[in-house]
Amino acid sequence: LAKTTQPISMDSYEGQEVNITCSHNNIATNDYITWYQQFPSQGPRFIIQGYKTKVTNEVASLFIPADRKSSTLSLPRVSLSDTAVYYCLVGEGDSSYKLIFGSGTRLLVRP
Amino acid sequence: EAGVAQSPRYKIIEKRQSVAFWCNPISGHATLYWYQQILGQGPKLLIQFQNNGVVDDSQLPKDRFSAERLKGVDSTLKIQPAKLEDSAVYLCASSLDSPYNEQFFGPGTRLTVL
């Protein structure tokens, strides 16, 4: 199975911008890239999804380069409540239905 | 709108016993997923249903795990017999009609195998 790679952990301070990158070198042509947030003892929660270039919603931006072999989740001004684990989710290989979560990035936001 | 419901929330069993988990997806969602999440890891997809048909079960250990989604709504995931390494949180998720749609996750069932 294709492997996705994310940094294990990141630290930040309130009010800063945080960028988390995911590498996915075997993404399928038609696959979207989706990012999820997970708090302890809860299921993951959708943040943002994109196919190429840049997508922005009310909570985050997603940057995808032309080769689509990586993506960067950008959280503009983090708060303490953004402390969580962040996962990227992509399809794998030639099958859009093989959904592969990354290993997750544990973000700690300090006051 | 009600979210994805799962039961039980917690289960403790001894190895070689059987266990079953239940999931009720969001009304109208055609796609249902079961994930296994071991502590400190990302969720691993076990099986994906589109209505009551299986789309992908390539990572389901079929010698001990089984899942069904009768009538294309509720789903059950069974483990028989359980092993120590099955200790994990089992997450159910649903989406409107395809993997491209946002997945909505339930709270999960935490299984401990002793």
Write out pLDDT tens, residues A67-83.
999 999 999 999 999 99
Contact B56/A at CB under 8 A = yes
pLDDT at A93: 47
Read off the tokens for B10. 């917690």
Shortest Cα–Cα distance, B81 to chain A (Å): 26
d(CA A29, CA A92): 10
| pLDDT at residue A1 tops 70 | no
Average pLDDT, chain B: 93
User: B109 vs A47, B15, B22, CA distance in Å?
Assistant: 23, 17, 9
Contact B30/A at CB under 8 A = no
Is A33:A90 a contact under the CB 8 Å cutoff? Answer: yes
Backbone φ and ψ of B70, nearest 5°: -70, 140
Cβ contact B41–A95 (<8 Å) = no
Contact A103/B at CB under 8 A = yes
The pLDDT tens digits of the residues spanning B33-73 come to 999 999 989 899 999 999 889 988 989 999 999 999 988 89
What is the arithmetic mean of pLDDT over A56-69?
Answer: 94
